[in-house]
A and B are shown apart, each in its own frame.
Chain A
Amino acid sequence: MILAQLSTQLFTTDLPTLIGGLVLLLGVLLLLVRAIAGPTTYDRILAMNSIGTKTALFVALLGFITKRPAFLDIALCYAILNFLGTIAILKFVRYRRLS
């Protein structure tokens, strides 16, 4: 009840979506730590892949905040791009060349 009041008084966007976005970015921060410090190559690749997933989720969430469901399509495209990028990187790591 108090939270709902707060959300109408304080925030132009509603509180749950804001908290969702912040939690998502907290996840990105943790993954960033893994990408910078990660001892092995695979930690870094996994971190980049997960951050790509988080970006897609962020775009979808933004679509909900601004009430534009068309953003879901963009999120799907991001997921596909992310998958392709990860495949390319893994191929490089495995074969040491790209062609």
Chain B
Amino acid sequence: MIANINGILIIDLVLLTLVIITAVAVVEVRNLFSAVILAGIYSLLMAAFWTSMDAVDVAYTEAAVGAGISTILLLGALVLTGTQETVRRAVHWPALLACVLVGGLLIFGTLDMPKFGSPNAPAQQHPIYHGFTKQNVPKAEGGKSAEDVYAYNTLHPEDAGKHPDYFHGHVPNQVTSVIVSYRALDTMFETAVIFTAAMAMIVLLRGRRGNPLKGGLL
């Protein structure tokens, strides 16, 4: 007898099967309008899956960008092109081989990683402290984190002032700490990505005659 079935796991498996069906349909369908609609459905299903993976922020981005903005942008591209894809059935074997090889390498790379959600993973065990970033999140007087630091310092007077950020008032996980506590680092590189994207768009579209985005999106 099966000891313990996780209901969420069953739901996740069914959901992922639906996602795979949709992805195959997006590739296989010939009518471009249906492909756009199916891509939107794919994003919605992925958003549901992210939510069940407890990544609510990712899910929300997926729903807003994937199902909202992307669908609209793809429809905008559809205005400029035809609605039917030209049929090209031949399989490009070197490309398929490269895809399988790279995918296999990536999966092989994950074998070295710590177990999913393991409390012993390095990211959980080495908290980031102010020496890493030279940036401190101030601890307000009377706030929870200030109390924590005070309690820690009274318990370990020899450590007082040594590790001002050591776990207290901070997220132990390094990645979460950088994203949530040290917002500026995260935002800086996000801005760099968006800046690069904007420059690429301008370089690609500037000075083209019949620029479809002139007066519209850009």
Contact = CB atoms under 8 A, between A and B. Distances in A.
B78 to A, nearest CB: 8
Chain A at the B interface: SS class: helix
A56 to B, nearest CB: 9
Contacts of A58: 48, 51-52
A29 B41 CA distance: 11
Interface of A: 10-15, 17-18, 21-22, 25, 28-29, 32, 35-36, 38, 41, 44-45, 47-48, 51-52, 55, 58-59, 62, 65, 71, 74, 77-78, 81-82, 84-85, 88-89, 92, 96-99
B18 A35 contact: no
Interface of B: 2, 4-8, 10-11, 14-15, 18, 21-22, 25, 29, 33-34, 37-38, 40-41, 44-45, 47-48, 51-52, 56, 59-60, 63-64, 67-68, 71-72, 75-76, 78-79, 216
Contacts of A18: 7, 10-11
A18 to B, nearest CB: 4
A32 B18 contact: yes
Contacts of B18: 25, 28-29, 32
Given A12-B5, A35-B37, A55-B45, A85 B79 contact: no
Contacts of B60: 74, 77
